[in-house]
Each structure stands twice: as C-alpha cells, then as structure tokens.
Amino acid sequence: MSVRFGVLGPLVAEDARGPVRVGGPRHRAVLARLLVARGRVVPVGHLVDDLWDDDPPEGAVGAIQTFVAALRRALEPDRPPRAPARVLVTAPPGYALRAEPDAVDAWRFEAAVTGDRDAAGVDEALVDEALALWRGPAYAEFADRPWARAEAARLDELRLLALERRAEALLASGRAAAAVPDLEAHVGQHPWREDAWRLLALALYRAGRQGDALGALRRARGRLAEVLGVDPGPGLRQLEADVLAHAPHLAAPLAGTHGLATPVAHGPDSAAPTAHGHNSAAHGHNSAAHGPDSAAHGADLAAPPAPTRPNDTPTPARPERHLLTPSRLVGRADEVAQLDAAATRATELPRPVLALVSGDAGAGKTALAEAFTDHLTTRGWTTAWGTNPDTEGLPAAWPWHQLLDTLAARGHGHPPATPTDGDPLVARFHRHRAVGEHLAAVARRTPLLLVLDDLHQAGEETLALLVAVVTGSTAHPLLVIATHRTTDVPTALAGLLGRVARAEPTRVYLGGLPATAVPELVRATTGHDVDEATATAIHRRSGGNPFFVRELARLVESEGPDWAASVPPGVRDVVRHRLARLPEPAQAVLRRAAVVGTDLDLELLTALVGEDVLAPVETATDHGFLVERGPRRFRFAHALVRDTLYQDLTGSRRAHWHAATAEALKRLRPDEVDALAHHFLLADSPETDPRAAHYARAAAERAERRGAPHEAARLWEAALTAHDRSTADRSGPGHSTAGRFAADRSGTDAPATDPAPATTLAPTTPAATHPTPAATRLDLVMGLARTRAVTGDLARSRHHRAEAIALAEDLGDPDLTARVITAFDVPAVWTEHDDPPLAARIAATTERTLAALPADRTTTRARLLATLAVELRSTGGTRARTAAREAEALARSSTDPALLAFALNARFLQSFDRAGLAPDRARVGTELVDLAHRHDLVTFEVLGHLVLIQANSALADFTTADHHAAAADRLGRTHQLPLVRVFTDWYRALRTGVTGEPAEPAYRAAAARLAGTGMSGVDNGILPLALLCDRLQRGEPPIDDTDFGAYTPWCRPLLTQTETPIPDSPHDLLYEARTCLHAITAVRTNDRPAAERLHAALEPAANELAGAGSGMLTLRPVAHYLGDLAATLGRHRRAAEHREHALAVAERAGAPHWTAL
C-alpha cells in the first residue's frame, strides 16, 4: 500500500485508508528531514545533530531508532513482523525514505514546473494543477530549522517561477488582460523580479494599455533606483524602447498560438532574460535610498542599447545574476542566521524583539536589513521601513510616520489621535502608548517586521518611541530591526542602547569582508569577473567595506585599465568623479539643493535659481544622484552625495545660500519655523542674526510642546547665541553686556495683572511685555534654564537661572524680576541646596521683589513666597516656615493647581523643624500625588511619590513605600526624567539593608548613578554615611577609612576616643539619623546632659526608623536609641518601654536582625 506525502504546507501523510498519524514533533522532524534528502541516505549522526542543534542528550541515537520504528509502523501498518521495511529503510550509515517519484507533492510540483517545454510552450493547465498543490509555506512547521530552510526557499523560488510561466501561457494564448491582475500582485510582493515587471508591461501593452505599460516600466525603474540604487537591466530597458517605438514583435499572437515574444539581447555586454528574470546588476542593496551605507548609483551605467530588428541573432549573454537574497548576501550568512533566530524569538515571546545591526558606514547594514525584509516577506510577514535622514526641520519621529503610513497603506489604519494640549510629557506618553497598542493590533493579525534605518541620525522623539515600543509594548509577533553606525555614536543613541539593553536585543555587527569575498561581490555588482591582482587592489583600497568595494567595481567597469589611476581613496572623490560627468545645469541645481537639505523642494529651488529646475533634476535622477519619491518629490539618493556637494562649497558660499534659502522660504512658507531656524542659523551673518534668534526661539518652543527637551535646549542655546551676536553688532565694540541692558531698558509699565504662571514643562515668556533686547534675552535664558532642568543638566540650569535673575535686577523692574524668579518652579525633594550661595542670592532678591510688589498681586506673591521657602529650605528658620504657610494659604484660595503643587513642595521642605513629622509629610505627599495626577503635572506627581517613599520608609511601611517607588520609576521611564532613578536606586539600597543583607554593593551602585548629576547637596559624603549606618544597624563595628564630608561632626566621634564637641543636627531629612549617631556617642561617653537633650529631641519620632525618612539610608528604630539614652539617664523602666516599642517597629519593618539584637 503506497503512502503519499505533502510538504507544501504542514507535513501530512496519507494512504488508501486516509491520513496517517506520524507521531509527535520529533517523529515528524525525522520524516521531514528524510523527505528533504529526496531519497538519499541521511547518516544517524546528522539526524541527531539536526534534531537537537548539535547538543544531543544522552541516548540520542537510541531515541532516533525509536522514532524510526514508530514511523515504520505508521507508514507500513500491514508489514509482517521481521519483514524488511520498504518505505523508511535502513541504509548504512543511516536511513533513507524510498518514496515513489509522484508520492511527494513537492516532487510532483517541481517536475511540472521544470519539465521540458515542447513547441507548444507552457501548459497552462499543468501549471495551474501544480500551483494548486500548495497549502501554505513549504515545510511550514520546520521554518526555523537550518536543514529545512534551504529546501523551502528553493521550492518557493520554483513557485514564483511557476506564477511567471502561467503568465507566459496566458500571453501566448492571446489572453493578456487576464494575466494583468495576478502579475500586479506578483510585482507588488516581489518587486526585484525584473522578468515579472517585463511580463506585466507586455501584458498591459497587449491589452491596449500602452500608457499603463510605460507606467509599469517606470515604476520598476523607480523602485530599483530608490531602494537598490541600480538601473533596470537590458531586458526592461529594451522593452521600454520597443513600447515607445511600437515594435512589431510586441504584437499579441493570434489566439491559440504560442511562442511568447521576448526582447533579445544586443551586443557583447547584454544579458539575456532568463526564466527567473534576473538579468540586471541588481546587487545594489546597500543603496543610496537608505543613508550613509552607500552612494548614488547609475551615472556610470551604459546607455540602453539601440533597438534591432526582431530577426537579429542575439550574441552570447553575460552570466545570470541573482538578487541579494539571504542566501546570496556575500559573506553574511552568519548575520542572516542571527536575524532568522531573532524572527523565531519574535514568534515565541509575548513581546517585541529588537535586533540591532551595527557597523561602519558602508558595511552593508541596509543591505542586510533589506535582504532579510524580502526573506520575511516571502514567509508571510508584513514589513515596513522608516529611514532617518541627515537633515533638520523634519517632524518629530519622522521614521515612525513613514512606518505607520506604510502600514496604513496596506490596510492596517493609523493609530488613534491623542490629545496635544496640556503637559507635553503627558501628551508624549499617550502618543507612545497609542502607537504601541496600534502595532500590537497589527501584529495580532500578521507577523510584523519594522525596520528603522540609520538610527545614528535619529532624532530624540524617534529614539524615545523606539524605547517605548520595545520595552513597553506587548505587540507580538513583532521584530524591530534598527541599523546604526558604530563610530561616533551620538549621546542620544548611546542612551537608547543603554535603555534597551534590558530587552536583550540581538546584536549583529558587520565588519569588513575578507579578501576572498571581493571577486564574488564585484561579479554581483557588475556582472564581470576581475583578475586576482585587481581584486587584491580593490580589497586593499576598500578595507573590505562592501560600499567601497561596489563603488570601486563600478569604476573598474566604466574606466577599464585606467581605473586605478582615477579612483580616489574615499567616497567623496567617487562622488566628485561621477558629478563631473553631469551637465553644468544639473550640477548647479544639485549644489543649491545640497544647501536646501536632503529632500528637494522644487518650488523653493525654482525661486532660488530663477528658472524651472525640473529638467536638470530629472537629469540628476537619471544619473542616480536623486530618486523620485512621487510627483515633483525628489531627494538625494544618499546622504553622502549631499554631504560631498555641501562641503565642497566654501563657507562663505554656504552661508550666503542659506540666507537666500531662508528668505525665499519665508516668502513661500512662513510657518515652517524649524526649517527657517535651520537656515537662518547657518546663514551666520549680522544681517540674519535677529531672524535666526527669532525663528530658533519659535522652533525651541515648538520642540518643548512636542516633548523634545534636548532639541529644545539646543535651539534655545542657538537662539541665545544669535541674539547676543545681533545686540553686540548693534552696540558696537567696547560695550559691556550690563551696559547694553541699561541702555536697552524702556519705560514700559508693569502689567496690571499677575503674569501667567510658568513651569518647566509649560514654557512662558517672562519678558513678553518688555520687547526690548534685554527682555528678549531674559526670555531666551529662562527657556534654556527650563530645558536644562528637565533634561537633568542641573548645574548649567542653575547657571542660566542665576544669569537671568542678575539681568532682571539690572533692569530694575520688580514685575519682570518676579516673572524670572517664578518661571523656575522645578520640584525639589532634597533639603540641602546644591548651590547655597545662589540660593541665598535668590532668597534676597525674592525678599526685595516681595517688598516692591503691591499687596493685591496675590498669585505672584504666592509664587515668590513658595520660592523663598524652597530656596531657604533647612536654613530659613521661622521666616521660611512662615513663607511656606502663607504661600499655601494663598495658593489654596486660587484656582491654579500648579501653584498649589509648588506651595505644597515648599510646605514639605519646611516640615523638618522637629523630629517625628513623617505623618505630616505623608499627608503632603498624598495630596501632591492626587493633585498632580488629576491635572497632568508630571514632575510634581513624581515629587509626591518620592515624598511618600521617604515618609513611609520612616514609618516602617515598606509595602507602601515600594508601591510609590515603582510608580515613580514608571513615570521617570515614561517621561524620560533622568533624576528619578537616582532616588529610587538609593531607596532600594536602603531596603536591602533593612532585610539584614549587606547593602554596600547596592549603595555603591546608587552612588555611581548619583555622581555627575549636579546634585552636590545630596552627594556630600552621603555614601560614607550610608555605609556607616548600614554597618551600625546590622550590629557591626564602623570602619575608619573614609571622609564623611558634611557628616563628619556626627560620624567621626564614633571612630575615635577623642571627646570632640558635637553640634546639633540641622533640621532636614537626615535630622533623626545625625541625632541618633550623636546619641550613640553620648551613651558611649556617658554624657548625661547630651543624653537628656537628645532624648527630648528624638522622643516625638519614637515610632519611626532613624534616617529612613531620607529615603536613602537607615539606622535602627529611633526607639532603640531612646532606650539606650533612657538607660544612660537611669530611667530603666522607660528604657524597657522604648526597647519593647523598638521591637514592634522592627517587626513592622520586616527586619529580623533587629529583633534578634
């Protein structure tokens, strides 16, 4: 009884009785492996390696024998005992499957497609019958197995050939119109198959659609040029010429006749179309369309051959050249396998998988990503690309716009719109979440591949959205491939690589190709072989960089024996050499276009040149310098082409043309402030500086609104520089800045009403009512201070703030000074100021401003009072506490939630006048979280969570503190607030110590994160203090090997026998910690007066942990130290009560080592 097998889809077997059950996954893998061998013997050792990936278990050979025995019983159920098997046979050194030639669907399919064609041509019915055998991807369930992939790819290539042969049959039988729909779908899925484009164009022509035929050929040309950087092969070029000439041999044959007309090759260098249609130099994958991994192509290609008569005899063709599929990427098999494994992971994991492809410029990153995109497309994946152009003025997250537009064009819609008003960081969060949810919805319908090319040129928002998708989305199966250079990695990209590390991305690095690979790549590029000496010279000059190899190969083809003399050492000279061949009008337009940017604006270029530029632009496109992206939409085929043109201009010429571009753009599209800022800034002249400052400020405000603070900071700084140059030019040499401010001051009256409140996240214009140069400069400085604070650059932010306040006071306007002071309501969580002299200066200025303002300016007064309380913090005494209470009262009478949040911040910082106030701070933190969450005040919501970490730690409620730490971290990640993690890392080190485990590694890691933040008020001996407290709370002796910084007066006496006076602790977050350290010394030295004083100071905090209210370190319960102090004072009953209370607090904290002490 014969058995038939199906592998064109899931593996199946059947006999006369019906389906045959062939067992579990391993049994099926053995059967599939034998079917792949097509009757050849597969050694047992190979089966073992193939089933267990070279890591077989003990007894693997015995397991293979068991699988084979079970398969034999299933395939030959009627075989008598001990009779030899006839289907799955033993053949030393392994096994073979002896199936009939027509017993396997793949074998029948191949015979039908590759069999000899008689004079009648293709048998359409036979091809249709063969295609009907396909039930899904070949060997579908074994797609991740190396032994199945090659066979599956071969069969799929045959399937594509069958589709094209079916079209040939329809054309030969005179049914051209019937062939068009399937061919349109075919070229859409496989755009690099030139024979498919040829068949489509011929079908359209024969269907009476000459215009559509030419449109198809131009689509093919555009796609090949845009993505691969190559011109169509001779077959397509000849067909286009024949269509234009109405060549007689294109006429449709009479119905019922055969003999499909095929363009013939002409000349010794022509390539005859093959059955696969791969007759062109289609190996330019690392192409100009995707950034710096290659340069423009096409200028050196030969012109199309002249048409000949249909009866001309073709000369011998060049060897057939294939596309760069994963199996044909020169020297990159291992890298393709890495990406294949990543795709498999993406189908298995319930989250996105990221693959990072890196290497030097020209290493082939784009080529690898493109080839793998094609590979996954053939496996049924939906794919979309986004590129990061090296240009300014594009919308934020431009590559994501490209990706989402591609998905929408394929019927998947767009993400829902999200609110854009309110807090920019909140709006950004909602945008990111909407994109993640949209991708998850698409991935549920189809496996999804997204490619982000040239990530080293990506903007802040592009990178932020990538982090959000990779680390925060549940989309699967989703594979994201991102390519980037490994040299000169920008800070933003380095930050992204760190943030996505926890997602465990697949990392693929592309180095130079070996010398042995150069001849193959040259042949793939040009279709010609080169001798060993030439290949060696190419490798030496290129260093194995695929881009340089290909460019040099093209020059070898075009220049012949003189190539070595004319090839310059780098890409710049290659571009110059090819540029020199263009007509002068095209060169002139390209140089102007290089100043405009990567994308060509034809209207703008026409205005600059003074005449229509379409003709020279088309010439440049034909030569491969530009690609056409749509009607009147062109761009440079490669960023390096544009860079070469741009940098070859003199600095003076560049600046002059940037100024002209800006002026023309201002007339044509005055709302494009990003582009206007870019060009006016690069114009760099006294005449354009005022406009550069104006547009850079507008672009900075726009960047803040869209949640890009780093970009905003860059623009604010550029605007400030341009403004200062413009005022210096007007003032003339020898004029000081202060003198300019005094001279610029106008008599504008102060506003009659309070100015609008300002926060770091909702920028205002402090000097809006004072449109003088000095007031404008205040605007720019405060904008820079705002964005520096948001991005975590506190030191420079303080510098800008101090500068602005000094300038405002120089102007002598209390309203303006108040606006500058209150524009910086950045939340503060630590009670020690980072810059005490600046704090004192701001406090003094604030007091003077308060005295000068009318009493009815309640909103401004509330902000100034809150600022006073925040700046004085632990040093302001009664005045600071009074200011905080007054600010809170005024804020509660207003309707401004941001003002109330700032006032609550001030109240928190002034809640340390005695010990034991953690419950009060917990109430402040709770109100802050609720208020800020309701009104989208993200930074104040973070502050509330940090306050609640501190307060609940003091109260030994670590379950609640853990909840708020997680919430703070979540907000910090979502809104990219870098300082949040500093405090939560310290909190987690504290938590480690409470469990009794040594916390020193966690503290040192937290201290490393603190370093460099500019928070000198925190980082002032805090690590040695924390390590000392950790040892003491675990009952270990202190180690005298460090400098305790600001905490020396309380720590040093614990390490020496010298009786040194110890000062009272400042009233701040570490008041209880310092006071308990003082208590330890007082007990050891039997200092009864000090013990009396310390006992009274600490008793209100008897229910708290000493130091834990800082959220950064802890000693034991305060009650423990109260017990020791009471014993020193001879109050033994009270001491016992304190110690009993300490045990209760220790149990509440979950600190078993405290209860055992």
pLDDT tens per residue across span 1112-1146: 999 999 999 999 999 999 999 999 999 999 999 99
677 pLDDT band, cuts 50/70/90, is very high
Which residue type, as a one-letter code, is found at position 391? T
Q: Is pLDDT above 80 for 846?
A: yes
pLDDT: which is higher, 526 or 484: 484
If one compares 286 and 833, the residue with the highest pLDDT of the two is 833
Q: Three-state SS across 437-466?
A: HHHHHHHHHCCEEEEEECHHHCCHHHHHHH
Residue 803 pLDDT greater than 70, yes or no: yes
Highest mean pLDDT: which range of 220-229, 413-422, 551-560, 1083-1092: 1083-1092
**Is the previous residue joined to 93 through a cis bond, with omega within 30 degrees of 0?**
yes
Q: Which helix (H) or strand (E) holds 6?
A: strand 4-6
As a whole-number percent, the residues of the chain with pLDDT over 90 amount to 32
C-alpha count within 13 angstroms, C-beta hemisphere, residue 739 = 8
As a whole number, mean pLDDT of residues 456-473 equals 87
Cα distances (Å, whole numbers) of residue 928 to 555, 868, 961, 1132: 68, 19, 15, 43
Q: Please, are residues 781 and 803 in contact by the beta-carbon 8 Å criterion? A: yes
CA–CA separation, 898 vs 645, rounded Å?
Answer: 51
Task: Say what the pLDDT of residue 254 is.
Answer: 40
What letter does residue 226 receive in the DSSP assignment? I
Cα(663)–Cα(667) distance, rounded to whole angstroms?
6
> What would the mean pLDDT of 672-686 be, rounded to a whole number?
93
Higher per-residue confidence, 502 vs 1101 = 1101
The set of residues, in sequence order, having a beta carbon less than 8 Å from that of 501 and lying 6+ positions away, is none
Give the whole-angstrom CA distance, residue 504 versus residue 353.
8
Quickly list DSSP for 39-77.
Answer: T--EEHHHHHHHHHTT-PPTTHHHHHHHHHHHHHHHH-T
Task: Decide if 865 contacts 979 (C-beta within 8 A).
Answer: no
Instruction: Provide the token pair at 379.
Output: 């496996």
> Above 80 in pLDDT, residue 944?
yes
Q: Tell me how far apart the alpha carbons of residues 906 and 914 are, in angstroms, rounded to a whole number.
A: 16
Backbone angles phi, psi at 981, to 5 degrees: -60, -30
Strand duo 94-97 + 88-91: pairing: antiparallel
| DSSP state letter for 100 | -
Q: Which residues pair with 384 in a beta bridge?
A: 450
CA atoms within 13 A on the CB side of 935: 18
> Residue 845 in contact with residue 809, Cβ under 8 Å?
yes
Higher-scoring residue by pLDDT: 1091, 581: 1091
pLDDT at residue number 251? 66
The string of pLDDT tens digits covering residues 915-926 is 999 999 999 999
**Omega before 319 cis (within 30°)?**
no
CATH architecture of 333-511: 3-Layer(aba) Sandwich (3.40)
- Report whether pLDDT(1149) > 90: yes
The 10s digit of each residue's pLDDT in 819-841 is 888 878 778 998 887 888 888 99
DSSP secondary-structure letter at 394? P
Is residue 698 within 8 A of residue 776, CB to CB? The reply is no
Name residues whose C-beta falls within 8 Å of residue 107's C-beta, 6 or more positions apart in sequence.
38, 101
Residue 629, classed as helix, strand or coil, is: strand
Q: Residue 1030 has what pLDDT? A: 94
CA distances from 973 to 69, 414, 462, 943 (A): 57, 25, 16, 15
pLDDT (0 to 100) of residue 1101: 96
> What's the burial of 1076, exposed, middle or buried (CB within 10 Å: 0-12/13-18/19+)?
buried
What's CA 320's distance to the chain center, in Å? Answer: 39
Q: pLDDT grade, residue 624 (50/70/90)?
A: low
Q: What is the DSSP letter of 1117?
A: B
Percent of the chain with pLDDT over 70: 83
* Cα gap 796→1013, rounded to integer Å: 11
Q: Which residues pair with 96 in a beta bridge?
A: 89
Nearest to 350 by CA among 270, 280, 239, 440: 440
Alpha-carbon gap, residue 103 to 895, rounded angstroms: 82
- CA–CA separation, 696 vs 1129, rounded Å? 69
Q: Which residue has better confidence, 794 or 724?
A: 724
User: Three-class SS of residue 927?
Assistant: helix
> Quick check: 747 pLDDT over 50?
no
**Residue ranges of the domains in the chain?**
4-114, 174-255+275-282, 333-511, 516-563, 578-649, 662-722, 980-1156
Distance CA 152, CA 1075 (A): 75
* pLDDT score of 277 more than 50: no
Instruction: Centre a 10 Å sphere on the Cβ of residue 1008 and count the other Cβ atoms it contains.
Output: 11
State CA 628 to chain mean position distance.
27
**Residue of higher predicted confidence among 643 and 480:** 480
Q: Mapping DSSP to helix (H, G, I), strand (E, B) and coil, where does residue 609 land?
A: helix
Q: Is the pLDDT of residue 1059 over 50?
A: yes
Mean pLDDT of the chain: 80
pLDDT in the model for residue 749? 30
Segment of 409-418, 691-700, 1148-1157 carrying the highest mean pLDDT: 691-700
**Contact (CB, 8 A) for 919 and 912:** no
Residue 1055 has pLDDT above 80, yes or no: yes
Distance CA 710, CA 699 (A): 12
Question: In 3D, which of 911, 907, 971, 965 has the Cα closest to residue 939?
Answer: 971
CATH of domain 578-649: 1.10.10.10
136-145, 309-318, 827-836, 954-963: lowest mean pLDDT where?
309-318
State how far the alpha carbon of 568 is from the alpha carbons of 443, 557, 1042, 1059, in Å: 47, 15, 60, 79
For residue 910, report the phi and psi dihedrals to the nearest 5 degrees: -110, 25
Tell me if domain 4-114 and domain 578-649 are identical in fold.
yes
> In sequence order, what DSSP letters do the residues of 541-588 get, joined into one string?
HHTT-HHHHHHHHHHHHHHGGGHHHH--SSHHHHHHHHHTTS-HHHHH
Q: Classify the phi-psi angles of 167: left when phi > 0, otherwise alpha if psi is within -120 to 50, otherwise beta.
A: alpha
The CATH architecture of the domain made up of 174-255+275-282 is Alpha Horseshoe (1.25)
HSE, side-chain direction, 13 A CA sphere, residue 559: 18
Confidence of residue 452 (pLDDT cuts 50, 70, 90): very high
Find out whether 539 and 548 touch, Cβ atoms under 8 Å: no
In this structure, is the dihedral angle defined by the CA atoms of residues 142, 335, 230 and 621, taken in order, positive or negative?
Answer: positive
Q: Return the residue matching tokens 């004029």.
A: 735
Radius of gyration of the chain (CA): 38
**pLDDT greater at residue 144 or residue 284:** 144
| pLDDT of amino acid 287 | 32
Q: Rounded to whole angstroms, how far apart are CA atoms 231 and 476?
A: 37
Of the candidate ranges 180-184, 621-625, 627-631, 735-739, the one whose mean pLDDT is the lowest: 735-739
Weakest mean pLDDT among 327-331, 397-401, 962-966, 1041-1045: 327-331
Q: Tell how far CA 1138 is from the center of its chain.
A: 56
What is the CATH number that goes with domain 4-114? Answer: 1.10.10.10
Mean of the pLDDT values across residues 750-766?
Answer: 33
